[in-house]
A and B are shown apart, each in its own frame.
Chain A
Amino acid sequence: MSSSLLNKDLRKEIIESIRSNGFRTIITAFGVFWGIFILVLLLAASKGLENGVKRSFQGVATNTVFMWAQGISKSYKGLPKGRSYRFDVTDAEAIRQNIKGLKTVSPRNRLGGYGSSNSVQYKLNNGSYSVYGDYPEILTQKSLDILAGRFLNYNDIQKKNKIAVIGKAVRNELFKTGENVLGEYIKIQGVSFKIIGVYSANSSGARSVEEQKQIYIPFTTYDLAFNNGGKVGFFAITAKDNNSITSLKEDIMALLRERHTIHPEDERAIGNFDLFELFSKISGLFVALTGVAYFVGFLILISGIIGISNIMLIVIKERTKEIGVRRALGATPSSIRRQVLIESLFLTVISGMAGVSFAAFVIAIVNIILEKINDPEMMFANPSVSLLNIGVALFILVVCGLLAGLIPAQTAIKIKPIEALRSE
């Protein structure tokens, strides 16, 4: 007996015996086809949902926490509760010096409260936009493409230049197309700022429209122009890539409490929004979703596998005599077992590959349709399966194919060659 598992003769044997039960074989193989088709589709759908949701995090450093001052809820060292306080620029320096593993500490100010916007005028046009006082480092936390001119720099910070970088939506609304923008002056709360740059925010999803309607001015200019007295509206703090901000934020908050004489257990005094924690939770959710996809797909696949096992058993019952003859002619039990195993493996893998191919085809069509729709707010984008997942699916197929052949193979080798001599 030749040692090669799939030599020409064995291949011929298998194709012949599959062909001799043609239609039934195809019907059975459809079970596996369908199972792997559903599995791949589920994986792609969960990936599509993941892509859609994570798209809204695009253009933002996710290892970031935002912190702002809230009302104090515990009296401490003789100071009453309910008093209010604000962060100031010296806090930023203190955080940078005392907490290791941080990449960027950006003190930020925003004109008006959260969610409000301010009337901005250019000549006779006006519109409502959010105005931020920022340091140049904000570019490490937000991904902005400079379309024209430049962004803020430290010269602007030091000289407290009255300059502004505006979003492309601001430009489009206040200026005519083709009109010169750089060097023009806009009025924010009655104060004139010279436009030195136009940006386009790299972000998609629900926030992308809002992101283009913002105006950045130097932090120090903001302080001076809007009489802010060195106070900080909120901090955007990003950790280095190998640290998680979630593990560092308690230290930062402890430091801030100490500096503002706040009770160490006053949880409410500092508001924070941990993007990393949220992002991790969402990532975890999609790991779970992928797990569910595997689980459900695998269960469907198992019913297909049972189908193959079942049909192989019937086929072997029908071929009892043939197997007996083969045994009488010198087929060893192991050669019979191998033939049955390879037959079932062959059926499983071929129908599985067909399932994978068909699923890939359907995914490609869905992608074309999604591209046509092109809605950035849709929570579903680019459904796809990775090569790794395809590999895992094929591995499952091979294992299942062998499992499906195991029982029929054992049945087959129990057939005694005497059966062949028995004439009915």
Chain B
Amino acid sequence: MIEIKNLHKSYQMGSNSLHVLKGIDFKVKEGELVSIMGSSGSGKSTLLNILGILDEGEEGTYHLDGTLIKNLNETIAAQYRNKFLGFIFQSFNLINYKSALDNVSLPLYYQGVNRKERVERSMHYLEKVGLADWSGHLPSELSGGQKQRVAIARALAADPKVLLADEPTGALDTKTSYEVMDLIQQINEEGKTILIVTHEPDIAKMTKRIVDLKDGLIINDTKIEPIKAKANV
């Protein structure tokens, strides 16, 4: 599903060049649930940006579902993001003047799906995250955990190949975190490929594979038996 070979990335900081990724080789198969760990400065955000087609590496290749991601213009990048990727953010990033339902249907809107079908499909995903009754509410009327579930429904709405979650539980308390992780595990069990960037070890242990990043290199890549989040709720 994801195939990265010898990926390098550096940033120009004035006259200095900061080498952030120093040759990453990384493969994710379909249906995997992977956590990427690392302290700040390890390069994990940069890696996520590149995975999310928000940024590009200078050297190496990145194939997403068999498609080479290189030198895309903004319009094609936007279309690929819409088609291949679902984003889940730490701060939820719901649009505050839109109802939960309208937030979920936004990726479908940008796909040009008609209104009736959009509502149908969005309702389906809201049901899936257990918030069908809240479809008409504004984000300000929802709790943190509910907001993140709406965001997950939004990430799923366009039926992407891969979900990318950037610290999805970073803004939530432990109990809510585990509820969200339970939902993520369920979605993974239905076959969706999911990548989670986190610095919380207990969250990482709920995934099937932990990738440790340090100073721009992968130092550890182990498959584990995930802890069921449900058991901790």
Contact = CB atoms under 8 A, between A and B. Distances in A.
Interface of A: 1-2, 8-9, 16-17, 19-20, 321-322, 325-335, 413, 416-418, 420-421, 423-424
Which of A321, A334, A417, A421 has the most C-beta atoms of chain B within 10 angstroms of its own C-beta?
A421
Nearest to B166: A421
B78 A333 contact: yes
Given A326-B95, A332-B110, 7 more contacts: A326-B110, A330-B81, A330-B111, A331-B110, A416-B54, A418-B54, A424-B91
Closest 7 CB pairs of A and B: A330-B82, A20-B97, A330-B110, A332-B78, A325-B93, A423-B91, A332-B75
Nearest to A21: B97
A329 B82 contact: yes
Contacts of B166: 421
Interface of B: 45, 48-49, 52, 54-55, 74-75, 78-79, 81-83, 87, 89-91, 93, 95-98, 106-107, 109-112, 115, 154, 158, 166-167, 170-171
Contacts of B110: 1, 326, 329-332, 335
B95 to A, nearest CB: 6
A329 B81 CA distance: 7
A17 B54 contact: no
Which of A8, A20, A327, A416 has the most C-beta atoms of chain B within 10 angstroms of its own C-beta?
A327
Contact of B87 (A20, A329, A335): A329
B95 A322 contact: yes
Nearest to A421: B166
Contacts of B79: 330, 332
A329 B107 contact: yes
Contacts of A413: 74
Contact of B97 (A16, A321, A333, A335): A16
A329 B91 CA distance: 15
A302 B93 CA distance: 36
A8 B115 contact: yes
Nearest to A8: B115
Nearest to A417: B54
Contact of A16 (B81, B98, B171): B98
27 contacts: A1-B112, A2-B112, A9-B115, A17-B97, A19-B97, A20-B96, A20-B97, A325-B89, A325-B93, A327-B78, A327-B81, A328-B87, A329-B82, A329-B106, A330-B81, A330-B82, A330-B111, A330-B158, A331-B78, A332-B79, A334-B75, A335-B110, A421-B45, A421-B89, A423-B89, A423-B171, A424-B91
A418 B51 CA distance: 12
B154 A328 contact: no
B78 to A, nearest CB: 4
A335 to B, nearest CB: 7
Contacts of A17: 97
